[in-house]
Amino acid sequence: MEKVGIIGIGATKFGELWKQSLRDLLAESQLKAIEDAKISEKDIDLIFTGNMCSGDFSGQNHLGSMASEILNLNVPSIRVEAACASGSVALRQGMQAIRGGEADIVLVNGVEKMTDVQTRQATTGLMGAGDEEWEGFNGLTFCGLYAMMARAYMHKYRLTREQLALVSVKNHKHATYNPIAHYHNEITVDQVLNSSIIADPLTLLDCSPITDGSASVVLAREDIARKFESPIWILGSGQANDTLSLHARKSLTEIPASTHAAQRALMQAKLGIDKVNVTEVHDCFSIAEVMAIEDLGLIPRGEAGRIMEEGQTYFDGKVPVNSCGGLKACGHPIGATGIKQVWEIVKQLRNEAGKRQIGKANIGLTHNVGGTGSTVVVNVFGRDRENKGY
C-alpha cells in the first residue's frame, strides 16, 4: 500500500478568539500549512475540512466552498462531519483520495468557532454527537455521560479522585510549553478538586474548554513527498465505530472502538504499540485520557492511577501523553482537534516541539474520539516510511 506523506502543517492560536471569524481561522491555518510545505495553492488537487457545528454556532454551513474560495481554487472541496472525530475522518478521506489516485496533493483542515454562542447553546450543539432520542432528550450532557464512566471506572479499579485530577495537572503543565495552547497556567490537584462540580465526580477543571481554533495539514503522494526535506509518513490509519448511545454498551469502563481502531492502524503500520514514542489522546474529560491509554494498550487495565502518580505520562516520562496540553489545556475546538493532534505529532517527529520535545521521537500516534466512543480514529506516523530502526 502506497504511503502518504505530510509535507506541511499549520495551526492558529487556540482560545477565545473574539476578533477572528470562522473564515479568518480557516484562512490562517490553510495559508500556514501551504507556506510550511513551500508549495503553491495551485498545487492542491482536493480539500477536506472537518467541522461539527458551524451551522449551529456560526450560522455557516457549506465550508467546502469557503475553504476553496479562500485559496481562489475551483478544486473539489468537501466538509466532513463525524462529531469530535471530524478532523481525523477528514484526514482519512484525504489519505484515501491519494491512495485511490484521485489526487496527488490534498489539503486537510479542521476548524471550529465555538465562543460566539452561550454555554447552553454550545452544550446543546455538542450533544448532537450523542443519542438525541435516548440521551439528549432526557437531559443528559457529555459531562454527565463521562461522569458515569468515571464513577464506573473508579469503582471497578479503585481509582482515587486525586489520581484522576493528575490528568488535568499534567496537561496544564505541558500547555505552558505550547505557544498555541488555550491555557498557559499550571494547576494543582487541590484546584481541580475544589473547582465547581459540573457532573459528579467531574469538576470544571476535569473538562476541556469551549475553544476557537483551526489546524491544517498538506498530504502528498509518496513519490512527491519524497522530494521534500523532512516529510512525516502516515504509516497506518484505523477507524472503528460503536453504538451512538452509551447505555447500549457492554461496559462503561472502556471504549472498544479505540482498541479496534488502534489494532487496525498498528497492523497497517506493522508495528506494536511498544514502538510508539509519543501519543496524543482524546482527553475531552480527564477520565477519557485514563481509559484511552488503557484501550490503546499503552498500559495494563486498571493501572492508570499508579502510572499517573509516578509521572510516567509527562513529556519526559516513560509513556508521554498529550505533550501539547491535550484537549484539556490546549483546547478543544471540535472539528480542529484531530488535525491539531497531527500538528503536534509532526512537530515532535521533526524535533520542533521546543521545551516540550520528547527525546527519540520516531513514531507518533493520534487517538480522536467522536461522542462517547461512537467513532474513533487512530493514526500512526513515522519519520521513516519503511519503519527502519524502530
Residues annotated as part of the active site: 84, 332
Rounded CA gap, 181 and 185, in Å? Answer: 10
Phi, psi angles (nearest 5°) of residue 325? 110, -5
DSSP string for 31-61: HHHHHHHT--GGG--EEEEE-SSHHHHHS--
Rounded CA gap, 7 and 16, in Å? Answer: 29
Edge-to-edge strand list for the sheet holding 105-112: 77-80, 46-50, 105-112, 213-221, 4-11, 232-241, 375-382, 363-370, 278-280
Instruction: Indicate the SS3 state at residue 105.
Output: strand
Kindly state the DSSP code that residue 205 receives in the 8-state scheme.
G
b/e burial code for range 78-105 (CB count within 10 A of at least 16 → b): bbbbbbbbbbbbbbbbbbebbbeeebbb
Rounded CA gap, 335 and 10, in Å? Answer: 15
- Are 375 and 229 a contacting pair, CB within 8 Å? no
Q: Closest Cα partner for 43 from 107, 131, 129?
A: 107
The gap from C-alpha 4 to its chain's centroid, in whole angstroms, comes to 19
Tell me the one-letter amino acid at 198.
I
Helix or strand run (H / E) with residue 91? helix 86-99
- Are 4 and 98 a contacting pair, CB within 8 Å? yes
